[in-house]
């Protein structure tokens, strides 16, 4: 069989621990035999980040801006223990944070669902995609712990030196204080990323904030979304028969639980952080959660939502064979290859990505799965736990058949 051709390289960001091992297996077994793979390779493994003073991470992010599509393996975000374990020069920043800072995007997380794993919420029939604003708010806040009486004020000095000042609270006892910000430019790009994603996946878009309480901060988000929708997206949405729907966050939470799924739910940074864990757990497993960072100027970075699965890696190092779920990492590759195919007009590559995903789903639907999914499947379904390598071999044989 002739291998499927690519024209533009994918930006490949390798990573750490168990996911790094699986990364290589996926390439060797599921991609390289079928695709004439072109990548520009960046090793974001912790050792290389340390050796290059993290320059490699920045380079990989700029390469994503250049080529438009990247696929990323999970990476260690170092903490004190990792600094010791890897003898690091510094406690390097989270690679995802660096990549987001360069691409300025929105993170979309969607579960991979199969009929034998029922969501905890009975009414959900289709995936719910969380779109999380990945900039500002409490993640960039300044905060104080106050040990006694005193007046807290909010002060803004404009570039001409004019002050705007308001009392926050006259403290009569110890307490806490926090200052948050966001920027119109970032909120606008968040909005456009969400509208574009909804169009590309032909799903309704929901957006929710607490604008009734936060009449300046959250209302700004609401107004910016509405303005961009009316001016730039309304017609396109109507053409596709999809809707944009804004509602208060408490109302949204209640509606999400009663819904059938099948929409994109856009959320501010903190809300998205919390709700994505709730939604992924309710759909089954973090190992089945895909993630893509979409920038406003149309760059895409695909990855699994989970981490490097450290505990499995330590067992692997002892010579044990593991049953680690490769689904989300495989879907990162298929997502990136499909997007590359779409951008370059390579129908064979798009078709390959579709078949790779359907080979994965067929394998799961045949009851062949990794250990983590066994407790989640319906009691009536006959399921067998296999090792990662066996699972990948089963996918490979189904994929080969589909492609022949």
Q: Interface with ligand NAP by CB under 6 A: which residues? A: 74-77, 96, 286-287, 303, 306-311, 324-325, 372
Q: Which partner from the list ligand NAP, Mg ion, none does 310 bind, CB cut-off 5 to 8 Å by kind?
A: ligand NAP
> In whole angstroms, how close is the CB of 193 to ligand NAP at the nearest point?
18
132 touches 107 (CB < 8 A):
yes
> In whole angstroms, how close is the CB of 67 to ligand NAP at the nearest point?
20
Q: Which partner from the list Mg ion, ligand NAP, none does 311 bind, CB cut-off 5 to 8 Å by kind?
A: ligand NAP
Q: What are phi and psi of 336, to 5 degrees?
A: -70, -40
> Which one, 176 or 274, has the nearer CB to Mg ion?
274
- Number of residues binding to Mg ion, judged by CB under 5 A: 1
* Residue 76 to residue 43: CA distance in whole angstroms: 12
> Which one, 13 or 242, has the nearer CB to ligand NAP?
13
> Which one, 337 or 373, has the nearer CB to ligand NAP?
373
Q: Is residue 273 at the binding interface for Mg ion, with CB under 5 A as the rule?
A: yes
> Which one, 102 or 309, has the nearer CB to ligand NAP?
309
387: CB partners within 8 A, 6+ apart: 321, 322, 323
> In whole angstroms, how close is the CB of 273 to Mg ion at the nearest point?
4
> In whole angstroms, how close is the CB of 274 to Mg ion at the nearest point?
7
> In whole angstroms, how close is the CB of 295 to ligand NAP at the nearest point?
17
> In whole angstroms, how close is the CB of 25 to Mg ion at the nearest point?
28
> Which one, 46 or 349, has the nearer CB to ligand NAP?
46
In the block, residue with structure tokens 């290589």: 24
* Residue 391 to residue 385: CA distance in whole angstroms: 9
* Residue 361 to residue 355: CA distance in whole angstroms: 10
Q: Which partner from the list Mg ion, ligand NAP, none does 273 bind, CB cut-off 5 to 8 Å by kind?
A: Mg ion
Q: How far apart are the two ends of the chain, measured CA to CA in Å?
A: 8
> Which one, 281 or 389, has the nearer CB to Mg ion?
281
Q: Which partner from the list Mg ion, ligand NAP, none does 104 bind, CB cut-off 5 to 8 Å by kind?
A: none
> Which one, 96 or 209, has the nearer CB to ligand NAP?
96
29: CB partners within 8 A, 6+ apart: 392, 393, 395, 396
Instruction: Provide the β-strand partners of residue 134.
Output: none
* Residue 311 to residue 323: CA distance in whole angstroms: 12
DSSP secondary structure string, 221-260? HHHHHHHHIIIIIHHHHHHHT--EEEEEHHHHHHHHHHS-
Q: Which partner from the list ligand NAP, Mg ion, none does 74 bind, CB cut-off 5 to 8 Å by kind?
A: ligand NAP
Among 42-50, 72-80, 269-277, 330-338, the segment contacting Mg ion (CB under 5 A): 269-277
Q: From residue 96, how far is each of 31, 144, 340 by CA, in Å? A: 25, 27, 21
Residues that bind Mg ion (CB under 5 A): 273
């Amino acid at each position: 069989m002739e291998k499927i051709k690519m024209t533009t390289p994918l930006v490949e960001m390798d990573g750490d621990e168990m996911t790094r091992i699986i990364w290589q297996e996926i390439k060797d077994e599921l991609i390289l035999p079928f695709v004439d793979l072109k990548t520009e390779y960046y090793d974001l493994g912790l050792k290389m980040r340390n050796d290059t003073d993290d320059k490699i991470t920045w380079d990989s992010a700029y390469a994503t801006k250049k080529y438009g599509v990247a696929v990323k393996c999970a990476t260690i975000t170092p903490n004190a223990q990792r600094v010791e374990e890897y003898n690091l020069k510094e406690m390097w920043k989270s690679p995802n944070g660096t990549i987001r800072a360069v691409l300025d995007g929105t993170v979309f997380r969607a579960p991979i669902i199969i009929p034998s794993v029922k969501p905890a919420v009975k009414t959900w029939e289709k995936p719910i995609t969380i779109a999380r604003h990945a900039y500002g708010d409490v993640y960039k806040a300044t905060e104080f712990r106050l040990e006694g009486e005193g007046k807290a004020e909010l002060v803004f000095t404009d570039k001409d030196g004019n002050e705007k000042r308001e009392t926050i609270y006259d403290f009569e006892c110890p307490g806490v204080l926090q200052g948050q910000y966001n920027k119109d430019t970032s909120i606008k790009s968040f909005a456009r990323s969400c509208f574009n994603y909804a169009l590309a996946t032909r799903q309704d878009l929901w957006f929710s904030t607490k604008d009734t309480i936060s009449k300046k901060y959250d209302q700004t988000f609401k107004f910016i979304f509405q303005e961009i929708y009316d001016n730039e997206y309304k017609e396109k949405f109507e053409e596709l028969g999809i809707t944009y729907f804004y509602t208060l966050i408490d109302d949204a939470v209640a509606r999400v639980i009663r819904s059938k799924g099948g929409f994109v739910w856009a959320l501010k940074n903190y809300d998205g952080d919390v709700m994505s864990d709730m939604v992924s757990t309710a759909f089954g497993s973090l190992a089945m959660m895909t993630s893509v960072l979409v920038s406003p100027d149309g760059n895409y970075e695909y990855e699994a939502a989970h981490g490097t699965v450290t505990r499995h890696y330590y067992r692997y190092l002892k010579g044990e064979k593991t049953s680690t779920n490769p689904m989300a990492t495989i879907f990162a590759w298929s997502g990136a290859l499909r997007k590359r195919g779409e951008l370059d007009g390579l129908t064979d590559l798009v078709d390959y990505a579709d078949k790779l995903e359907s080979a994965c789903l067929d394998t799961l639907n045949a009851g062949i799965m990794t250990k983590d999914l066994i407790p989640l499947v319906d009691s009536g379904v006959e399921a067998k736990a296999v090792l990662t390598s066996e699972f990948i071999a089963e996918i490979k044989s189904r994929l080969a058949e589909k492609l022949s």
